[in-house]
């Protein structure tokens, strides 16, 4: 059975939707950030502080490689920046069906303005950073995706229904 992979910007709901979808479909759930944190014994913010964003991206690439061939029929949520590497987009396609949860920068800001766990948003003007990063990443998300869902105003039940319908 194919894996279902959720991609999208920080705060789009990949983890929350993924967990609910895994209950609904009775499939196991995996989260790439959590797998990396567990393997490293550190939080993402510590990993960024120690090896930088590039070092973290290498860990994401290695994890995708390890998952291909070993994971099947799972629901997999991914870190928001994982699809920005071309190599990772290819690995995602090999790993399963990719669903992009798309939303506006303003919605991300509203959801994450109090967040302290995302190193890339710890800056003086997080809304501007969100806008810039999202604009830089949009083409990568779109290219990686087999299907795109606009999620700004949708509740979890609606999103999950749309995913299930699309899977047939």
Q: Which of 118, 129, 131, 154 binds ligand S3P (CB under 6 A)?
A: 118
Least Å distance between CB 120 and ligand S3P?
Answer: 5
Identify the residue among 4, 5, 6, 10 touching ligand S3P (CB under 6 A): 10
Q: Considering beta carbons, is residue 86 or 165 the nearer one to ligand S3P?
A: 86
SS3 assignment, position 3: strand
Residue burial 27-59, b: 16+ Cβ < 10 Å; e: rest: bebbbbbebbbeeeeeebeebbeeeeeeebbeb
* Size of interface with ligand S3P, in residues (CB under 6 A): 10
Q: Are 75 and 22 in contact (CB under 8 A)?
A: yes
Q: Pick from 44, 103, 130, 151 the residue near ligand S3P by CB under 6 A.
A: 44
Number of H helices, E strands in the chain: 7, 5
Touching ligand S3P, residues 75-114 (CB under 6 A): 79-81
* Interface residues toward ligand S3P, by CB under 6 A: 10, 14, 33, 44, 79-81, 118-120
């Amino acid at each position: 059975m194919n894996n279902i992979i959720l991609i999208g910007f920080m705060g789009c709901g990949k983890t929350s939707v993924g967990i609910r979808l895994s209950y609904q479909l009775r499939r196991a759930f995996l989260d790439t950030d959590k797998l990396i944190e567990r393997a490293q014994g550190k939080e993402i913010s510590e990993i960024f502080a120690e090896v930088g964003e590039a070092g973290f991206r290498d860990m994401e690439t290695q994890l995708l490689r390890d998952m291909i061939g070993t994971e099947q029929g799972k629901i997999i949520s991914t870190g928001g920046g994982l699809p920005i590497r071309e190599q990772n987009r290819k690995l995602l396609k090999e790993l399963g069906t990719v669903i992009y949860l798309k939303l506006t920068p303003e919605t991300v800001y509203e959801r994450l303005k109090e967040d302290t766990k995302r190193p890339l948003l710890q800056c003086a003007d997080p809304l501007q950073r969100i806008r810039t990063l999202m604009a830089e990443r949009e083409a990568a998300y779109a290219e990686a995706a087999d299907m795109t869902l606009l999620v700004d105003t949708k509740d979890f039940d609606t999103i999950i229904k749309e995913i299930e319908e699309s899977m047939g």
